[in-house]
Structure 1
Amino acid sequence: MVRSIRTKVIISMMSLVILSGMFLGYVNYMDSEKLAIDIIKRNNKAELENINEYYFEKLIFDMEYIVNIWANNQEIINYTKTDDKLYVRSIPEDFINIYEKWLGLTESMKNVTWFYYALEEDGSIYIAPVDETMPLDYDARSRDWYKGTVDKHGEIFWTEPYIDAGNSGKLLQTVSKAVYKDNELRGVIGLDIELEKFTEIIEGLSYSKQSNIFLLNEKLEVLASNENASENLSIYAKKAVSGEQELFTLDKIQYVSTYVPISINNWKLVALTQTNLNEELNLIRDRILTIVLLTIIIGILMSLILSRNLLKPLRSLILTTEKVSDGDFKVRSTVTSNDEFSVLSMSFNSMLDDIENLLTQRDENYIKTVTVLANAIEASDEYTRGHCDRVGDIALQIADKLNLTSKQKNDLRFACILHDVGKIGISDRILNKPGPLTDAEYEIIKKHPEIGFEIIKEIDFLEEPANIMLEHHERIDGRGYPQGLKGEDIRIEAKILAVADTYDSISSARVYRDRILTKAEIREELLKNIGIQLDEEVVIALLEILEDDMKN
């Protein structure tokens, strides 16, 4: 019987070591691959967003600003032709003063090819500089850019690229706006940009030396790219926008694709960046295989010298492995025997340390991702900027005061970051309205917990934060929304979030409030809502925290 038990122990130990090594090695490798790809994509996206903001969006802003200024210029608005001549290749005497200003503008701004005013009266077009190759029978009113601008009813209009009507053969893009006087259409102010300007921007980027950059329109046609971007790569640029392939190999070179939207005509800026990801992952794989092989060898050696005294530490290791298999990567082996089992235990714990570090990095990346999403919501409102961070700080202090578990605090942390994410589906006009909301507007605002819940509910690690977020506008008296929960039916985390959210709201500047409340008024407001909107235990905890802060 003794021999049978030792044989079973030896077989079990060998199986345990091999399977544990393979499992942990696989988990380690897969997490490393995902983490490496996420880092590359995040860095690429940040670079593209900077390029878009400092080059493309600046160009767009400058062009729209110029068109806006002149479309609202009183000389333009009040201008009336004094003769019946159709002007295409010349400028009337009474327009020379404005023409000279436009001529100076086109000479000083390298991005503007032509600046012009097209008249609704007869289709004449005053172009600076004059284009002698324009057709004499040219009627601006029949052109797509003119019709598209009129259809915009006073808003800025961007055309898709088209070939110049003159003999230049240039591919142009028009930025234009209709001119009105007393609600009567007078004409259209426009300027032309050569499509080549976008290529020049891309070619001038230092980033383009390490990436293939494409500018795509809504139909996924390539409008511009850097010189080294091949036709084959353009196919993958289009796939990147549709989300088909973020990682691909072409001609034995591996690429990671990323894109960001541009604010005109649903254009996209795409980057295909070369990466040596396979080489990096091969090194990680080799290290993991080495660790696994070493662990297996050690396990076999230990199995050969097992005795009855080793059954207890063996059981300890088996229990530890079971907990790891259940997802508990914080557990550690507690074997303290002065033999090979101790070595195996240390190797096993070292592996778990590596895995836990990777999981920690992954969780940090999750936090950064949801923080970026929350910041994107807050960015449109100067009064609520930083609101989620402040609410999170207050909520976690209350959670400590009420002795919540580590998991509850972690779920609460994510819920605080994301609690207003549903406002991404609410119009800025309503969110930033300085006066009281109408009943209809308030009903729209009340939908943001459900919108936020629908956005994040399918993400496994955010399942509980999603429920907390959904309940943070419920009230103790049952008159909250969206579910009308009351009292003990509301999660404690949601009660904490509600108090923290209320405190930050009444202690901060808001567009609908002419001053910040005093400390006494804040205290009175919180106490007044106990048992109505807010939970008594949570409010008392917050007031104690505030009193401690004042004493310190």
Structure 2
Amino acid sequence: MKNDKTFFPFKYKVIIYTLILSFIVVSIFGIIQFFYTRNILNEQNINTQQILEQKTIESIKFAEGSYSILESSFEENMKSITTKIIEEYEKTKDIKKINLNKYTEDLTGYDIYFINNNNIIEYTTDKDDFGLNFNKFPNFIKILDNIRYNKNFVSDRLNLTIVKNEVKKFSYQPTKDGKYIVEIGVNLNKYLYILKDFNFDKVSKNIIHSNSIITDVSLYDGTGKAYYNNENGNNKVIRKDHLIYLKQSIDRMKKINIINTINGKKYFYRYIPYVMENAIGTNKVSVIEIIYNDNDLKDKLKKNLLIFISVFTFSLVAAILIGLFISGIIYKPVTLLIDAMKKINLGDFDHQPEINTNDEFELLAKNFNTMISSLMKLIKELLEKNEEIEKQKQEIKELYIQTNIMNEELKYYLNETKKNYLDTVRAIANSIEAMDKYTGGHCERVTQFSIAIAKKMELQHKELLDIEFASLLHDVGKIGVPINVINKGVNLTDHEFDLIKKHPQIGYDILKHIAFLKDCSLAILQHHERVDGKGYPNNLKDGEISILAKIIAVADSYDAMTSNRPYKNQILTMEDAIDQLNKSKGIQFDEKVVDNFVEILRNNYSLFDFSISDQELENRNKISDSVSISIINNIDINNNMTALECGGGNGLLSLRLNKLLKNIKVIDSSKKMIDYIENKKEQNNIKNTETILFDFKELDVLNQKFDLVLSSMTLHFIKDVNKIISDFYKILNDNGKIAIADLIKEDGDFYESNALVQANGFEVNELKNLLLQNGFKNIKNQIVHSIKKTKNNKEKNFDVFLIIGEK
């Protein structure tokens, strides 16, 4: 049979494969080297910018120090002149009778101002500022009010004047009658000859001249005006479209990086907040603007590209030549073998190729003839066996597919069955709650409490399923009680109360014949029985009542005490409800059930140990990511610091920060949470994290101080927040930091029903005032995360804030 397939000689394949391999190898190494070099150049550029940035800040700080020395030389004279003017005013009581020029005639750059109680310059030696109204500048008004209140002489640092934008140093002192503030200003531009090369303008030009990658350096005040003039002699101002970045830098006290392309060139703008020492006004925080260009970087990258192309071309040519030589050597014995196979194909089985290469090709040639005869025999046997194997393989494959399909179908139907069971049970429970206008959500809450207690008491898996169904349906018997009796609540007659007491028996009778609810129907029948035998419907005593019924009885009573009901005047707090449960131990309720439930309530187990969902765990991980990143960005954390996390839960926050700290202690009142963190420590070989089983509401008994105190999503469980804030302050070292993350004030939907919650989030300003009252300073806050939850088929956002303070 003729073979129509196009023949492609092995020789050419060897040559092509060798060329391709050479090309790939050269390309890979060349590209790796190119990008590696480019990354190094980019990193060098970034490092250079960082070094230059630090040098720029140091240079401006040095210049500012020079200004400070110059300013200090004026302070005594300014204070002396102020005292004399006020003394003269006390005698005349009329500012117009005071000759201000006599105080400034021998002094260069001095001006005197009288600011009245309406914050207007009423009398001055500076004609341009006469009548200037400061009420347009609320921040400056606060400073004037503070000066009037303290009645002391105050000296400010250099600042820009409002009208002429001159750099002046100002001092202030109110008159004794409080009608005026005497302000003295000294024009520092008149004294720049003293500073020589250490004024802002000269420092900026020196930096630009000595560093080619810096296009411009400026120091702006909070309004975007520079402390020196531009090349035209006018006051230099920031670009209008960049004023917003200057404000952001001041508000956040963080660097802001912006990239602009102008005429095809990239410019990198960096705005750095700069705090001027001893300043009291709008000059307190200025901004350094550094504009970098990428000219040097582009030149280096171009050179790198040219080098890459040259090396790549040379290497490729060399690889091709070497490849051609090697392919010729490899192909020669192959040619001999191909000729032998052609002859054998024509029936010349006696032909034996002779190859003397002293390698595998020679061995192949020597065994070639023997292999041909043996191979033909084996091929025949293998073909027969392969047919049998393929047949069996196909049968196994079909069986495997059928088995997988059946398993998937079975798994699907099992899940659907369980889901249908739960949906059916919830539908029944919801239909009962729809009859009772006071018990909305009651069955779900009782279920939550019951499952938590059952898990705490380590009940078996089957019992956990039964108690979930039983607690959801514990009031199903109310379907047999008239609606008017259910909703009447108060002043029930004996007959009406007897009807109410029948609902456990009715529920039992309804459910006992349903197969999947048969085992839990007994708990529904007994959930109003008492351990002293005075319950209903059958007056059963302690040992006669199932453990499931005992658990539901406690959970049902607790929810009734802490929820709105028509037959009581007020909703009990968690502690009051716990008192009632403890009083009824051994009488109405089982002691072990009550003790376990109280431990759950007081240690937050109901939230954290038993019923946490995958979505809730995902939310906590995201919150911890956002909070930890914001803490790192806002607090200078280092490995000499000691930290304490209060209410550490499962350690999501502390285990993200511990690598940056010397050590951290995590305290929590939940033993399961402490055990969880200890397990994480062992798995990850963590040495610098210590856990303490401890109620952090008793922090005042700790005999240790820390550099950092953390609290995340915990404060809203605390009743006396002021005491906790006070305790935080006491256990911090001087200049120690506090970082609190919690919910912004919300309407109570975040936790559907939880008696442990003491506050539905916080108003940030109120919490900030609380920190101030307890002695904290330098307080700042920000929104760090938003949690999405679906309530009543509507998606709601709950914001999480981080507030940071310093002792």
Alignment TM-score, normalising by the size of structure 1: 0.45
Of structures 1 and 2, the larger Rg is shown by: 2
Choose between structure 1 and 2 for higher RCO, CA contacts under 8 A separated by at least 6 residues: 1
Q: Could you say which structure has the higher strand fraction?
A: 2
